[in-house]
Amino acid sequence: MSTGFYYDDTPAEIKNAKVCVLLCSSTQTDEKGLHLITTSTPNGKKVQIMIEELKASYGTQYTHTLISLPTNDQKKDWFLRLNPNGRIPVLMDNTKSPPFAVMETSAIMLYLLKENQCLQWLFFWHGSGQPIEGQLNYFGKLADQKDEYAINRFKKETLRIFGVLEIHLSGKYTGEAREYLAGKGKGTYSVADIGSWPWVSGYDFSGQISEAEMKAFPHLLKWIDRIAERPAVKSGTAKS
């Protein structure tokens, strides 16, 4: 049963979420705002990092709820009301009437970004890197039976994609090494980096890619370390 937009059993912290807003008079008030429903998977971390960066740079305020995947919170009716696909993360914009639910990681990031920059590298990873590394993680670590053909295929392709990022960051064909994926010159930290880093930095999750093999990508390794040191990345990945 539902009363209004949310189902009755939707956690109160979600349907009643409010953020603290500082007024011109230096007083504070609680208003409806953004609420992130997440857990610290690579896709969850993408949005967690981005919204922390927006908070640090622009004062974006939000609240969040961590749900339990092992207990299938994401398959309960109240959650499916917000995302029929039953996957995290979901961003609730409670400033809208009725509240507006944004599903799919890249859609959430673009909703937060509100401008079409950095799409080339954001979607390169979303369409090429993420599905392939996800398959390597499954066949390399999670599958009940080991399929060497599948492991070798997805490992080879993951390393190829890492090689594309290495070429781009090294400046092999431009003559200027880059610090970030998008932007002029050395680049500027952007949603393209946020969207790629949680997966690339977790290259060892599958148990199939060694540190020795990653030495073939020195600029990519520096990129991983550079982003890992950002305060918002640290706070965004600490939500577990």
For 26-49, what is each residue's pLDDT tens digit? 444 557 789 999 998 999 999 999
Please tell me which residue, 34 or 118, carries the higher pLDDT value. 34
- Tell me which H or E stretch contains 232: helix 231-237
Confidence band, pLDDT 50/70/90 cuts, at residue 231 = very high
Please tell me which residue, 17 or 67, carries the higher pLDDT value. 67
Q: Which CATH number fits domain 12-113: 1.10.10.10, 3.40.30.10, 3.40.50.1400, 3.40.50.2300?
A: 3.40.30.10
**Other Cβ atoms within 10 Å of 146 Cβ, number:** 10
CB contact set of 237 (below 8 Å; sequence gap of 6+): 40, 45, 48, 49, 198
User: Residue ranges of the domains in the chain?
Assistant: 12-113, 119-237
Pairing of strands 62-66, 34-38: parallel
> Which tokens hold the place of 115?
């401008």
Q: Which of 208, 226, 113 is nearest to 169 (CA)?
A: 226
Q: Which of 202, 204, 209, 214 is nearest to 151 (CA)?
A: 209
pLDDT single digits (tens) 143-176: 999 999 999 999 999 999 999 899 889 998 788 9
**Other Cβ atoms within 10 Å of 101 Cβ, number:** 17
- pTM, 2 dp: 0.65
Mean pLDDT, all residues of the chain: 87
- Tell me which H or E stretch contains 48: helix 42-58
pLDDT at 240: 57
Question: Taking phi first (over 0 means left), then psi (-120 to 50 degrees means alpha), and beta for anything else, what does residue 20 get?
Answer: beta
Q: Contact 129/142 with Cβ under 8 angstroms?
A: no
Confidence band, pLDDT 50/70/90 cuts, at residue 20 = low
CATH fold of 119-237 reads Glutathione S-transferase Yfyf (Class Pi); Chain A, domain 2 (1.20.1050)
Q: Which of 58, 37, 48 is nearest to 102 (CA)?
A: 37
CB contact set of 236 (below 8 Å; sequence gap of 6+): 45, 48, 49, 50, 51, 52, 53
